[in-house]
Amino acid sequence: MEWFFLVVAVFWLAWANGANDNFKGVATLYGCRAMDYRGALWLATASTLAGSLLSIVLAGALVETFSGKGLLPDDLVRSRELLIAVGGGAGLTVLLATFLGMPTSTTHALTGALAGIALLVGGRHTDLSHLWYDFATPLLVSPVLAIGGAAILYLIFRKARLAMGIDRTTCICVGTRAVASGTSLSGDKALSTVPLTTTPTLVIAEQDECVERYDGHVAGISAQKIVDGMHMFSGAAVCFARAVNDTPKIAALLLATGASLAGWKLIFVAVVMAVAGLVQARRVAETMSHRITDLNPGQGLTANLVTSGLVLFASGFGVPVSTTHVSCGSIFGIGVAGRSVKWKTAAQIATTWLTTLPLGALLGAGLYWCLAH
Q: What is the pLDDT of residues 131-140, one digit of tens each?
A: 666 666 777 7
Residues 150 and 284 in one domain: yes
CA 244 to chain centre: 13
Residues 237 and 348 in one domain: yes
Task: Single out the residue in 150, 182, 209 at which a domain terminates.
Answer: 209
> DSSP character for 292?
S
CA 94 to chain centre: 12
In the prediction, which pLDDT does 98 show? Answer: 94
Classify residue 244 by burial, with Cβ atoms within 10 Å: 0-12, 13-18, 19+. Answer: buried
User: How high does pLDDT run on average in the chain?
Assistant: 77
Q: Indicate if the pLDDT at residue 276 is higher than 90.
A: yes
Residues 203 and 227 in one domain: no
Rounded to 10 deg, the angle between the 37-58 and 223-251 helix axes is: 50
Query: Is 51 in contact with 242 (CB distance < 8 Å)?
Result: yes
**Which domain does 197 fall in, by range?**
172-209
Residues 83 and 197 in one domain: no
How many structural domains is the chain composed of?
2
Q: Indicate if the pLDDT at residue 125 is higher than 80.
A: no
Residues 121 and 232 in one domain: yes
Residues 204 and 152 in one domain: no
Rounded Cα distance between 62 and 241, Å, is 13
| Whether the predicted model's global pTM rises above the 0.85 cut | no
Residue 220's contacts (CB-CB under 8 Å, 6 or more residues apart) are none
Residues 187 and 260 in one domain: no
Rounded Cα distance between 323 and 110, Å, is 14
Residues 121 and 261 in one domain: yes
Residues 191 and 237 in one domain: no
Highest mean pLDDT among 146-160, 216-230, 236-250 belongs to 146-160
Query: Among positive and negative, which fits the CA dihedral 229, 164, 309, 354?
Result: negative
